[in-house]
Amino acid sequence: MSETEVTSQLRKQIDSSKLPRHIAIIMDGNGRWAKQRGRPRIEGHRAGTNSVRAVVEAAAELGISALTLYALSTENWRRRPVLEIKALMMLLVEYLKRELRELNENNIRLKTIGRMEALPPEVQEQLHLTIDQTRNNTGLILNLALNYGGQHEILDAVKKVLYAIQKQKFSVDALTPEIFTTYLSTADLPELDLMIRTSGEMRISNFLLWQIAYAELYITPVLWPDFRKQHLYEAILEYQHRSRRFGKIS
């Protein structure tokens, strides 16, 4: 059976009434993919943009509400070689320019989370342009996590909550998890249902730490540049076969 036939068969098995509303992906393995082929690391990142296109297209076709992609962590920003970060920023700008028409044709809205102000001006400019030109789209929300860290997000939310309490918007005793969630950068997104990590690593890497409380985790050994629609379908099918109890007895 060809790859296309496998993908088609998997797609037919998905129950459209039990789709995860919000999927997040830790896109890992670009460097290893390049090393296995004797290529520079940036070639792994470049190949990974093909996976982004495939997954975004698949999520939009299925009717997923939101897709959050971990594109660059705060740790990556501080600890990766300067030349690699510059190349990643160039790839991001290229991707946004190239995909803008596709985003609009597929009714996809771009959103970002993370500390955008630290990104290069030309990257911020292209992000703002793409966000503005897709803001009226009503389909899939493509949420890029850039210069993002889960611990920083929670700390930033705590600061906002403290300020709100000082302004007497509510009391300390009135604070609930539901209220706290409204101060996170994902407040306007559906609750996270499924988190996928590629490359087989068994860690969360400071990603959406609050949001994963009851999310289903799916780890695949597939390196990100090799990840395609069929792999997303496999993750969703696994999700649909799990019993989500949220602390209750099944």
Residues taking part in catalysis: 28, 76
* Alpha-carbon gap, residue 197 to 195, rounded angstroms: 7
Chain-centroid distance of CA 131 in Å reads 16
* Alpha-carbon gap, residue 8 to 52, rounded angstroms: 19
What is the Rg, in whole angstroms, of the alpha carbon atoms belonging to the chain?
19
Residue 5's Cβ-count burial label (10 Å; 0-12, 13-18, 19+) is exposed
* Alpha-carbon gap, residue 165 to 159, rounded angstroms: 10
* Alpha-carbon gap, residue 46 to 44, rounded angstroms: 5
If you ran DSSP here, which 8-state letter would residue 50 be given?
Answer: H
Sign of the C-alpha dihedral computed for residues 216, 231, 65 and 117 taken in this order:
positive
By the 8 A CB rule, do 110 and 134 touch? Answer: yes
* Alpha-carbon gap, residue 147 to 34, rounded angstroms: 23
Let me know the angle formed at the C-alpha of 91 by 191 and 105, rounded to the nearest 5 degrees.
60
